[in-house]
Structure 1
Amino acid sequence: MAATTAKKLADCSYGSCASVAVIEVIEQYNGIDPHDSEFRLYDVVDPDALDTLFSGQQTTGLSIEFDIDNVTVSISQANDDIPVRVIDPLK
């Protein structure tokens, strides 16, 4: 399982927002460079909407999951941290 932690949009710099964290965990899990691959997050989910969804102050307890290829990406919010992880149902 690959995992990383993002920050709320108000507190994140490029590289620590939810959308970028999703790209990072997919990269870790698949061992690919998303800049050199055909993977585009916006083909699966709107990155701006994802960042906006996790930008609010009242999002503690928010949790979403979506499928990319054969894995599930799980994003949740606990306090100011946003854990992002890849779940492979076959492992």
Structure 2
Amino acid sequence: MSSRHRDHKHGEKRVVALDQNRTVVVRIVKQFGDTIRIDIEESRRWRIDVKQYGGIELIASWNSDGKLDDVPLPVWLPDLLHRLGLQGVVVE
């Protein structure tokens, strides 16, 4: 397993500044095999699986009212993954 996945611990929360006006909260939900499951919270929330060898899978998303909804992945996701040390991940 790559070192970029070994550095993330279950339950760990990070506040990441995307720019001067926007921060997101990222929580490591669990790690299994070559995959890390994370929650990303802004005004909306996404749960994604990040694969060690590239790619992500959207597991669930919630709208700004906290209701389960089909919320598209944010355009800033590649930058966020880079900041978390997961820059090898390809966002589809």
Q: Normalized against structure 1, the TM-score is what?
A: 0.30
Report which structure shows greater RCO (CA 8 Å, sep ≥6): 1
* Larger strand proportion of the pair: 2
Q: TM-score, normalised on structure 2?
A: 0.30
Larger helix proportion, structure 1 or 2?
A: 1
